[in-house]
A and B are shown apart, each in its own frame.
Chain A
Amino acid sequence: MIEKFDVIVIGAGASGLSSSWYLAKSGLKVCCVEQGDYIKNTDFIPIENGGEIQRYRELSFDPNIRDNRCDYSIDSSDSPISIANFNGVGGSTVLFSAQYPRFQAQDFKSFSQDSVGFDWPISYKDLKPFYDLNDKITGVAGLEGDPFYPDIKNLLDPVPLGRMGKKILNGFKNLGWHCWPAYSAINTREYDCRPKDNYSRPSNMGNQTGSKGSTDNTYLPKAIKEGLIIKTKTKVIKLIEDTRKITKILCRDESRNKFYLEAKIFILAASGIGTPRILLNSKNDNNFNGLSNSSGLVGKNLMLHPLGYVEGFFKDNLYSNVGPQGCCLISQQFYKTNQQNNFKRGYTFQVLRGPLPIESALNLTARKIIKLGDDFLTKFLSIYNHTAHLTVITEDLPEESNYIMLDHLKVNEYGEPGISIHYKLSDNTKNMLSHGLSKGRLLMKESGAYKSFAFGPVKSTGWHIMGTCKMGSDPKTSVVNKYGLSHDIKNLFIIDSSIFPTSAGVNPASTIQALSLFISEKIITKYKNLLHK
């Protein structure tokens, strides 16, 4: 007997859980299918007991290192940036740093404004109510009054800047550059029955207490309360299509049993990698290139936010490796196109807390800044907590020559293909990155650093995977319409970052979730006829 639902959501990450909640609370019978498992509090080893090593095993951001049962191979050898993600309930928000800025209004209009990229078929104004709703559910720390985000209200107090943040803030002030406390999905006080963060675990290493705004902490309990059925450790092998409709999905559970699930509406929320992978894997006699791929764009226009890194070494102990990893300060001084630059669009500076001792020591020895031997510990301690960290998040522009494809050379135990990434930095991005690294070093100098380093793109930073199932109004040049509905399949929606036409220059989690809520609302209102059939 095949189980039947109103809606099946594939993927329990940022977009999947937010949509599942919205649809379940609207009275629909919703099932969310997730290939990974729940992350339990007991899965985390406290940092003081050596928990950092989990970052190199089961909590690694690299699927090939982590190699959990639910992970599939991702070959990034043809790319200067490798993919980072997490598969499990909460998806990559389990390990995200909790940086939570919104896109700016101008980010939705890059073609009209700067003749690059594409205009989104929706605007900031369309998403604004859903950004607000998402902030309310998530709990966002920050400071009102930012000139770049004048309409953001009801924030929790900012995450404490600490000595490093204050030091760099002075540098920004001296240079007259924009700088603002980071928008962070972190509880700086008890919020919505979730506790205040105690900062004892960096935000990018999971969260034991529920204080981080990852979707397993925020949307999941609410969705369960509304009746969501969640099937974990269940892989979606294929979407079954008949006459331009998905009729059912073929799944496999942890006991290796295959089974089908049926629904009136199917929603793909499996990330910028997972969603095109499922579509490409679902090819049939009428759709040789995969489903929803009449445009040929499934997997193309991959954007990854190439990241630059700047370090400033200081004499003072700044406690710079303490606290929530990504959540200190941001600057959008160089965010918009400036005709004097040799690139269009721009980037965000993020002042970060540095990594924990293992990662720091591995980095410093690999770069020969310190070495094992007599004074190893003294030198290590003169740098650890004495280094300010800054990233440059560049706006990546869409290009069809950057793409993902099925990798039939690296198959799993069932013969199902992995994924390979084919990606190059454009000249525009290279110039932007170079500008950011140079300005970053200037900032470090102005803040009092005695030495600075700058490098990029950083290899293991492909967290923000966007563009691989582009949204647009023309079926020839896009995969889904402005409400996330496939141009080719009548009852298939895509709600994750794969539908972003452009990437902006900030972390996408907040926009992914706002967009997911926006589309969910359209499913309830504009496409309710699909639910009655």
Chain B
Amino acid sequence: MNNLSKPLSLLFDLAIPESKFLSSPTSELIKSNNTIFCQEKIKEFCQTNSDILGIIEKHTNNIPFFSLEEIKKFLSEKIGKELTNQFLMEFNELIIFSFFSSSKVLKNLPIPITEDEIIEALEN
């Protein structure tokens, strides 16, 4: 996948922060997700929301964000609550599809995913 834009990487990393279950930052994991569906989703999201992503990028050049809540508050003031909620709803769907369809994520999470793990979980 092509590099993710700076604001989108930031959003990914703040939405699902680093954790013991993840081998790399969320944005890196999503970047390595090569499924066409996710690539198309990301492209579509960036095109539809280029204005808002631009606003976030401009702001982060001066002052960094440390949480998704901060971005939400910032956007609500800048573009209004309704547009912010719509943007975050679309982002929510995007990150869930992209994150949980990454084989690197699935193999690291403590959930049975391979045949052996599943049979062990079901039968024992």
Chain A residues in contact with chain B, CB under 8 A? 45, 47-53, 56-57, 160, 162-163, 198-200, 319, 321-323, 356-358, 361-362, 365, 372-374, 376-378, 381, 384-385
Contacts and interface: CB of A to CB of B under 8 A. Distances in A.
B21 A199 contact: no
B115 A200 contact: yes
Nearest to A162: B122
Contacts of B109: 357, 381
A47 B115 CA distance: 10
A521 B68 CA distance: 64
Interface string B35-61: 101100000000000000000000000
Given A373-B69, A378-B19, A160 B102 contact: no
Interface in B103-121: 103, 106-107, 109-115, 118-119, 121
Interface core residue of B15, B35, B69, B96 (most chain A CB under 10 Å): B96
A59 to B, nearest CB: 11
B24 interface: no
Interface of B, secondary structure class, is helix
Contacts of A361: 96, 100
Contacts of A372: 15-16, 68, 91-92, 95
Contact of A198 (B106, B119, B121): B119
A374 B68 CA distance: 8
Contacts of B84: none
B19 A377 contact: yes
B76 to A, nearest CB: 15
Given A358-B97, A372-B15, A377-B19, 17 more contacts: A48-B106, A50-B106, A52-B100, A53-B35, A53-B37, A53-B101, A56-B37, A57-B37, A322-B118, A358-B96, A362-B93, A373-B14, A373-B69, A374-B67, A376-B17, A378-B19, A381-B111
Contacts of A198: 115, 118-119
B116 to A, nearest CB: 9
A199 B122 contact: yes
A51 B114 CA distance: 13
A162 B19 CA distance: 29
A376 B96 CA distance: 11
Contacts, number: 99
B33 interface: yes
B64 to A, nearest CB: 16
A199 B93 contact: no
Nearest to B22: A377
Interface string B65-108: 00111000000000000000000000111011100111100110
A49 B33 CA distance: 9
B96 A365 contact: yes
B114 A48 contact: yes
B101 A52 contact: yes
8 contacts: A47-B106, A48-B107, A49-B103, A56-B37, A163-B121, A198-B115, A377-B19, A381-B111
Nearest to B40: A57
Contacts of B112: 319, 322
B24 to A, nearest CB: 14
Given A53-B101, A200-B118, A357 B67 contact: no
B15 to A, nearest CB: 4
Top 6 nearest A-B pairs (CB, nearest first) are A50-B101, A372-B15, A319-B121, A357-B100, A200-B115, A361-B96
A174 to B, nearest CB: 24
Interface core residue of B15, B35, B111 (most chain A CB under 10 Å): B111
Contacts of A373: 14-15, 17, 67-69
